[in-house]
Amino acid sequence: MPKPKNVIETQQITIATTQRVVDLLTILAKGGLNGKNTAEVAERLLCQRLQELIDQKKLPGEELGI
């Protein structure tokens, strides 16, 4: 079953990171649990961590409409 289309507008960003981080993202992508490629895995992990920070009240959530 295909994944539903994202209804929230997305923005593209570019980051620079170490080869070790790329290697780890690649390993996770091969497993398929967090995404099918390194960019998808990185996006999902970033979103997870941001949500954790919001839940811990270390980042604003309601003020941002999250």
Mean pLDDT by 10 residues, the chain (66 residues): 78 96 97 94 95 89 66
Q: What is the pLDDT of residue 64?
A: 64
Coil, strand, or helix at residue 58? coil
Domain count of the fold of the chain: 1
Q: Give one word for 61, left, alpha or beta, with left for phi > 0 and alpha for psi -120 to 50.
A: alpha
Judge whether 49 lies within some domain. Answer: yes
Judge whether 34 lies within some domain. Answer: yes
Query: Tokens 């295909």 sit at which residue?
Result: 2
Judge whether 28 lies within some domain. Answer: yes
Q: What is the pLDDT of residue 19?
A: 98
CA 43/CA 6 separation, integer angstroms: 14
Q: What is the pLDDT of residue 5?
A: 76
How many residues are there in the chain? 66
The answer to whether the beta carbons of residues 28 and 36 sit under 8 Å apart is no
Judge whether 66 lies within some domain. Answer: no
Q: What is the pLDDT of residue 60?
A: 86
Q: What is the pLDDT of residue 66?
A: 59
This model's pTM is above 0.85: no
Q: Which domain holds residue 51?
A: 19-57
Judge whether 43 lies within some domain. Answer: yes
Judge whether 42 lies within some domain. Answer: yes
